[in-house]
Structure 1
Amino acid sequence: MASQKTNLSTRGEVFAEPKSKIPLLDVICDLWHPETNPGGYVSLGVAENTLMHEEIVEHITKNFAIDSHSLTYGDGFSGSHRLRDTIARFITRHFNPVNPVTKNQLLVTSGVGQAIELSGFCLLDKDDGVLLARPHYGNFPVDLGYRVGAKIIGVSFGETDPFGPETMDTYEKALADAQRQGIRVKAFLLCNPQNPLGRCYTREVLEAYMRFCQKHNLHLITDEIYALSTWKNPDFPDAPGFTSVLSVKKDGLIDPSLVHVLWGMSKDFGSNGIRLGCVISQDNMHFLRAVEANSYFSCPSSLSDLVTSRILSDDAWVDRFIQTNRQRLAENYTITIRFLESHQVPYKKGGNVGFFVWVDLFDPIRRQVNTTLKKQVEAGVPSEKAPRALEAKLQEKLLKHRIFLALGADFGGDVPGWYRIVFAHEKEYLKLGLSRMIKALEAFRSELDTDIA
């Protein structure tokens, strides 16, 4: 006889529900291949850079010799002495810190997602608030929510430039609103360079954010995972480049113990699968001790540790890699935006970093969208829910055409219809994905026209 009880925890019951399954899993296990799976999904939704895979595979293959130490726990659960020395030197060389980073000021994790989660666990109590600009990386609420139990305070800027100093008024208001609701705001999470908008914050703005955090005693957690993936935008040649908070003098701005930086291999080295990140805090050993005490839950593989050490210690190769990567990203960005322009698909301009473009897929079918929304509201659908429901239907249509894009709603997007397109793929793959996107959009337009009629 089958048991009538599941015997799961309350948490387990929630995650056992089919709706808790990550939709992305159905995509990545059925990806397009020209020969073995031509009917598979083309994924332009996951922030992966495959443009440099040949180079990094070649380097790993030539330099990867396993030693006995790499088959053990190594030097502990938070990175080998060798790797922490190598990362400290690498960060000092490329991030231009005011003071050189040392191995004792950083700990290694199994990815930057784990670095965020572990930082949140050690800095925040349950229900503490975290200020975060919208749109934002979709997994931030997960990283700081599932185990940490913190609350994301999404900050929207409307017509204000989200990268300008005038954002401070918006952050002040968001903080005050949260406090009125009884939320203790404890941290300010900054993604710089920003995902999904693909832009960098200026030194002036970073200094303003530091003063803000000092004023309200907030931890400034800066995710700098796209730091070296900047490139030249021909349409915006003067777009600000990357400035690390490590390179900003803290004197008179902020207590240095409030500043924490995260970085990893996933983006700048096109290696999401290596699963290796780090937490850097130059003036808060108390925080790092707390992170280290919990590092068992975020321990990197000793083999990933070894691979990363070999890669980052090869200065000449790293320099060539970064330069070539930037050139290829710029080329693919141009291909993507010119395609979008030729099909009258608006996108957020000014990007010069990362792998993505933020696009408005409702705009080319605006007449059909507006007419459909009007009919739905007249039929009793709440006006605030109708646009999101229509956005979800467009996502279904995209998936039926075997193209996966990141849904704006999953990134805290304010306005329905916006999606993130990842362009850091081989050109044939990229063009196939963009073509499928347009075909899905046209099919959705025809479907709405039929419903309207």
Structure 2
Amino acid sequence: MPEQTNLESSGLSVRSRPKVANFLPILKTIDGLNAVAANVDVDMAMGENWLIREPLVAIWKKVVVEDFDAKDLSYSHGIGGGLPLLSAFSSFFNQFFHSRMQITPEHVTTVAGASTCLDSLLYAVCDEGDSILLPSPFWGGYGAFSKFRADVNIIPTASLPLRTALSSDIVAEVKTSYASAPDPKRIKALLVTNPHNPIGRCYSPSTLRELMAFCQEKGLHYISDEVFAMSAFGGEGDEKFTSALALVDDGEESPIDANRVHVIYSMSKDFGSAGIRMACLVSPRNRHVLEGSMLANYLQTSIFSSIYTTAILTSPSLPSILADLNSQLAKNYALLTQALDQWGIDYLPTHAGFHLFAKLAKNARTWDEEMAFVKQLLHAGVMVAPGKNFGGVDGQIGWVRMSFSIPEKDLRVGLERISETLGLGKIGEEKSVLIYKRQPGCGTHQIPNIRNVYTSRSKKVTPTSPESQNYNWTLTPNSRELIETLLQIMELELSGLDRDGNSTLKEAATYYGQRTVAALQDALRTQREQTLQRLYLEFGDFHTKMADLYGLSNFTANMTDGAHTAHRLAENRLLRKALDASLAIVDRIQSTDDPITQKSLTAKQ
């Protein structure tokens, strides 16, 4: 059968063809970016929240072990979500969003993700070809998800300077965009993101009220995307998050009729759980819109997602978990901005969400040069989002969006890689060669400091002065056993190593950090300088073996022997992962002093 080469001959319906042609490439691009992010050393682009996951996983495991049973494999009950789930969401909004109206389960419906929630809501309140107003800048996904099924157009506002984009000036821009639209009567809603993505700040209550009053005047729905609501970490002087639910009620003083207000929330951002696909729509006074959204997305969310979400939102520890999240966000933000200040890099301060904009590629003059810098960082193992994806910052080239909602240790590694890419060296870099005194009478020797070469997945250990330790300079039976084991793993022949029990041993594992090749090699010391030199050569042989084993043709080890030697290792990210895997064996062996256990572990490996 000949291969089909065009959509017209594929048998697709007329309505499906443009969607496949226009949106499938977008989805494939997103999937490709996700794949890259999953394999990069430090992902500072995707904006996933890793800071809250450990306590949530603990809650989920407890629920699975203690509460999950056979009945939970049946069909779920309830249109738009089961009662336990809807009750959990309604209580959550009452407690943390400070709703002026009591939210009940009847006011909430669940959907598989915030983007699907927006799609369903627009399908319910707009007709094909209608439009919504959207303040600029905005998340790029809005364009695709408003058009994919609902076929709704976006009318953006003129861009204000990003430092003032959330001020009351936005009200005038919204009014201007409405008045200048080709057919204002076909504008059905205003979509507001608060806290804002990608700016990372919150609107003031007064600005929100003005926007609501405009919607009331023009008969528009007010849609509030509040997926970053619990990630507002700012301190004194920063605008606090104010939910739309905290501003409207049934009274005459409400800036808008409550039946025009709809709030979107998701477990993806604040709770770092994008994979469970759980979001909800809150419409306290418009049951018809809720029902229309239910029918537009009639497929129910997974029972596993429902149980997970219910357990999280009803956990007694939830307030402390969210408090810890904000504390960690503030700490990571401070770490990131301190580095940017140190480098003299301009950035836009934030106080909510997971990202900030920084002009890392400050010498870029074209979008291609900006992208080249982003690729340079990617080659160094760090992924950031180019500013072009967001229209630049005030039209300027050279900005990137950086996420800081990752583990602190990964953030530090990312900042070190960025610093090196900028040509600024390592943050807090130690000297390239450490000088220390060995046992009295043995003189001094320079040991190359290659501890920082392999930092991708390594646990750093603060360097400790060797002379401050009480080392046993006699080769003990346990130490001899460790050496034998290392030799077996590395398949090395150290002919200069005296194994008669009278040689001295410099155990530098603590000094260099366990998960470095330096720790393995520099742990083997003898009284003779020739043995140390031979060890350097065998060290190079070991890396060659590793390169051959993992097929890393572009790996090189350039080593020279001698008392004042210097190492330079040119390696790629795959090598770091290969070494991490191979050194896991040594980690296990070094965790015990029992020679029998060491032999057993070696045999099993």
What TM bracket, shorter-length normalisation? 0.7 to 0.9
The equivalent residue for 2:312 is 311
Q: For residues 411 and 405 of structure 2, what CA distance do their matches in structure 1 show?
A: 8
State the secondary structure of the residue aligned to 2:150.
coil
Match of 2:34 among 28, 33, 37: 28
CA contact (8 A) 2:248 2:257 kept: no
Give 1:389 deviation, angstroms.
4.1
Alignment of structure 1 residues 193-342 onto 2, 5 Å: 193-233=195-235, 237-250=236-249, 251-252=252-253, 253-297=255-299, 299-314=300-315, 316-342=316-342
Alignment of structure 1 residues 18-417 onto 2, 5 Å: 19-20=25-26, 22-31=28-37, 40-64=40-64, 65-159=67-161, 161-179=164-182, 184-233=186-235, 237-250=236-249, 251-252=252-253, 253-297=255-299, 299-314=300-315, 316-349=316-349, 351-362=350-361, 364-365=362-363, 369-370=364-365, 387-413=366-392, 414-415=394-395, 416-417=397-398
State the secondary structure of the residue aligned to 1:135.
coil
The equivalent residue for 2:542 is none
The equivalent residue for 1:435 is 416
Q: For residues 104 and 165 of structure 2, what CA distance do their matches in structure 1 show?
A: 33
Q: For residues 16 and 286 of structure 1, what CA distance do their matches in structure 2 show?
A: 30
CA contact (8 A) 2:233 2:352 kept: yes
Identity among equivalent positions (%) equals 27
State the secondary structure of the residue aligned to 2:291.
helix
Give 1:216 deviation, angstroms.
1.5
Instruction: Return closer, same or farther for 1:128/1:409 CA change in 2, 3 Å cut-off.
Output: farther
Q: Which has the larger radius of gyration?
A: 2
- 2:305 is matched by which residue type in structure 1? S
Instruction: Return closer, same or farther for 1:134/1:390 CA change in 2, 3 Å cut-off.
Output: farther
**Is 247-256 or 4-13 further displaced after alignment?**
4-13
Once the two structures are superposed, what CA deviation does each residue of 1:277-304 show, in whole Å capped at 9, x if it has no partner? 100001111111111222324x311111
Supply the RMSD in Å over aligned alpha carbons. Answer: 2.4
- 2:130 is matched by which residue type in structure 1? D
Q: For residues 101 and 185 of structure 2, what CA distance do their matches in structure 1 show?
A: 35
Instruction: Return closer, same or farther for 1:417/1:212 CA change in 2, 3 Å cut-off.
Output: farther
Once the two structures are superposed, what CA deviation does each residue of 1:321-355 show, in whole Å capped at 9, x if it has no partner? 01111111100000011111112221112x21111
State the secondary structure of the residue aligned to 2:147.
coil
State the secondary structure of the residue aligned to 2:231.
coil
CA contact (8 A) 1:397 1:440 kept: yes
CA contact (8 A) 1:107 1:279 kept: yes
State the secondary structure of the residue aligned to 1:188.
strand
Once the two structures are superposed, what CA deviation does each residue of 1:402-429 show, in whole Å capped at 9, x if it has no partner? 3222233333445233322110111221
Q: For residues 334 and 18 of structure 2, what CA distance do their matches in structure 1 show?
A: 45
State the secondary structure of the residue aligned to 1:66.
coil
Give 1:82 deviation, angstroms.
1.0
Give 1:356 deviation, angstroms.
1.0
State the secondary structure of the residue aligned to 1:98.
coil
CA contact (8 A) 1:134 1:412 kept: no
- 2:220 is matched by which residue type in structure 1? L
Once the two structures are superposed, what CA deviation does each residue of 1:306-335 show, in whole Å capped at 9, x if it has no partner? 111111112x31011011111111000000
- 2:388 is matched by which residue type in structure 1? A
The equivalent residue for 1:449 is none
Give 1:29 deviation, angstroms.
2.9
Unaligned ranges ≥5, structure 1: 371-386, 444-453
CA contact (8 A) 1:137 1:195 kept: yes
Instruction: Return closer, same or farther for 1:406/1:319 CA change in 2, 3 Å cut-off.
Output: same
Once the two structures are superposed, what CA deviation does each residue of 1:260-288 show, in whole Å capped at 9, x if it has no partner? 00112112222122211100001111111
Q: For residues 339 and 203 of structure 1, what CA distance do their matches in structure 2 show?
A: 33
Q: For residues 59 and 152 of structure 2, what CA distance do their matches in structure 1 show?
A: 40
Instruction: Return closer, same or farther for 1:167/1:27 CA change in 2, 3 Å cut-off.
Output: closer
Q: For residues 393 and 31 of structure 1, what CA distance do their matches in structure 2 show?
A: 17
Q: For residues 4 and 96 of structure 1, what CA distance do their matches in structure 2 show?
A: 56
The equivalent residue for 2:440 is none
The equivalent residue for 2:453 is none
Instruction: Return closer, same or farther for 1:31/1:224 CA change in 2, 3 Å cut-off.
Output: closer
Q: For residues 407 and 327 of structure 2, what CA distance do their matches in structure 1 show?
A: 13
CA contact (8 A) 2:114 2:264 kept: yes
CA contact (8 A) 2:23 2:148 kept: no
Instruction: Return closer, same or farther for 1:438/1:95 CA change in 2, 3 Å cut-off.
Output: same
Instruction: Return closer, same or farther for 1:310/1:151 CA change in 2, 3 Å cut-off.
Output: same
Unaligned ranges ≥5, structure 2: 425-605
TM-score, with structure 2 as normaliser: 0.63
- 2:385 is matched by which residue type in structure 1? A
**Is 191-200 or 287-296 further displaced after alignment?**
287-296
Q: Bigger relative contact order, structure 1 or 2, given CA contacts below 8 A and separation 6+?
A: 1
- 1:124 is matched by which residue type in structure 2? C
CA contact (8 A) 1:27 1:41 kept: no
Once the two structures are superposed, what CA deviation does each residue of 1:113-159 show, in whole Å capped at 9, x if it has no partner? 21111111111222322221222122111221211211222223434
State the secondary structure of the residue aligned to 1:49.
coil
Q: For residues 401 and 72 of structure 2, what CA distance do their matches in structure 1 show?
A: 38
State the secondary structure of the residue aligned to 1:206.
helix
Q: For residues 352 and 327 of structure 2, what CA distance do their matches in structure 1 show?
A: 11
